[in-house]
Amino acid sequence: MAKAQPKKRARSSANALLNATSALMAERNSVDVTFSDIAKRSGVNSALIQYYFGSKSGLFMALLERDAGPTFDSLDKLVSANIPAPEKLRHHVSGVIKVYHRYPYMNRLIGSLSIDSESEAAQFIAERFTKPLAAAQSAILEQGEDEGVFHRVDPMLFHFSLIGSCDHLFHARHSLKFAFGVEEIDEDLQRRYAQHISKILLESIMRR
Amino acid sequence: MAKAQPKKRARSSANALLNATSALMAERNSVDVTFSDIAKRSGVNSALIQYYFGSKSGLFMALLERDAGPTFDSLDKLVSANIPAPEKLRHHVSGVIKVYHRYPYMNRLIGSLSIDSESEAAQFIAERFTKPLAAAQSAILEQGEDEGVFHRVDPMLFHFSLIGSCDHLFHARHSLKFAFGVEEIDEDLQRRYAQHISKILLESIMRR
């Protein structure tokens, strides 16, 4: 028992750093957070960021893994499940939107870590997130074609329209507030947006 | 003639600063550029940024006005033109995509200037870009309903799906490269993407 304590403490400090980073990014609607912001918010000494995560980009990768990692297990299960392709696409869109609702900084963080395409962070994102996501979407589209319910569609164009449309409501909080007077995205708006996106994507590929 | 020289020189220095900022943002796929980067690239002393634009956010607002301002005149003309609503929507999507192709940093810049929603920059963006854009899209949707060719659709959800999907191909260059092996967005890809987006949006709202 006594031996486990330091590990437990380390885990809890690392978690406090991740929680603080996540909260700051969500509140500010920006991924510009400094070591000192994170230390202040978490109550954990900023030197420990380096100790636990190696660097700020190490911390950011750990945050992405924590936030989005588990959804890839669900996505694998969805792709291999025995349900019709249109149903899968609806579930997928609603899953993507749930992630962006919960972690509105996600695509911004991915973008900022991918600027230097040779970096370890960019490679991590490509292998861990981008490629599996594109592959899962391709598989759903292929299944729909095989079932004779989907038209053939370019999976690359489809990918960007799906991700971009799912993300933008959460990304562009300023537009939501200023152009439409909506201050908060509640469960109802999240659900209606997911239905809207599923509808536009499905209507365009369903055979009639 | 002699009197006009200083003005001309000022305009040309101000333009050099705008050009340098635009080029740096496009190359880096990021809006993180410093006074010193801009000075170095433009060959104009960084103190002149303050002199011409007041501040970095003043420079960024001037850049947005230069890049996107003129498209709002075209948008007004499009909305009031005597052509059917589906045609207008296609032109609009293709216009939005052209702007993002040319200035891939645009939505990121808008986002970064809108973080502090009380700031002058955020107000400028709301009044100059966001509200007119949303109003133009609403007008096109209403025209389509009046013509009996469009279903009723929530203009707010429609706005976010249109802007998000148009933007993402240009925004997520890292995904394009890593997941699909595409290094450059050429005219053909831009055109195909505009067709794809118009199709998904139109198919979902056209009455049959």
Q: What confidence tens digit (pLDDT) does each residue in B120-169 have?
A: 888 889 899 999 999 999 999 999 999 999 999 999 999 999 999 999 99
- Contact predicate B96/B161, CB 8 Å: no
Q: What is the C-alpha end-to-end distance of chain B, expressed in Å? A: 64
pLDDT band at B6 (very low <50, low <70, confident <90, very high): low
User: What is this structure's pTM?
Assistant: 0.90
Integer Cα distance of A49 and B77 in angstroms: 54
Q: What confidence tens digit (pLDDT) does each residue in B145-155 have?
A: 999 999 999 99
Report residue A93 as tokens.
């869109």
Integer Cα distance of B171 and A163 in angstroms: 11
Please give the ipTM for the structure prediction.
0.89
Domain ranges of chain B: 1-54, 57-205
**Amino acid letter, B10:** A
DSSP letters, A5-29, are HHHHHHHHHHHHHHHHHHHHHHHHT
Considering the segment(s) B1-54 as one domain, its CATH architecture is Orthogonal Bundle (1.10)
Report the half-sphere exposure of A69 (CA within 13 A, side-chain side): 8
pLDDT band at B18 (very low <50, low <70, confident <90, very high): very high
The superfamily (CATH) of domain A57-205 is Tetracycline Repressor, domain 2 (1.10.357.10)
Nearest to B167 among A164, A197, A204 (CB): A164
Which of 162-181 (A) contact B at CB < 8 A?
162-169, 171-172, 174-180
Q: What is the pLDDT of residue B28?
A: 85
- Do the chains contact at B178 and A117, CB–CB below 8 Å? yes
Q: What is the pLDDT of residue A5?
A: 63
Nearest Cα to B158, choosing from A50, A81, A165? A165
Report the half-sphere exposure of B194 (CA within 13 A, side-chain side): 21
Q: Is the pLDDT at B4 greater than 80, yes or no?
A: no
Report the half-sphere exposure of A115 (CA within 13 A, side-chain side): 16
Integer Cα distance of B91 and B101 in angstroms: 15
Integer Cα distance of B37 and B44 in angstroms: 11
Q: What is the pLDDT along chain A (208 residues), one digit of tens a residue?
A: 445 466 777 778 999 999 999 999 998 888 889 999 999 999 999 899 999 999 999 999 999 999 999 999 999 999 999 999 999 999 999 999 999 999 989 988 988 888 777 788 888 998 999 999 999 999 999 999 999 999 999 999 999 999 999 999 988 888 888 889 998 999 999 999 999 999 999 999 999 8
Is A46 near chain B, with CB under 8 Å?
A: no
Which of 138-157 (B) contact A at CB < 8 A?
153-154, 156-157
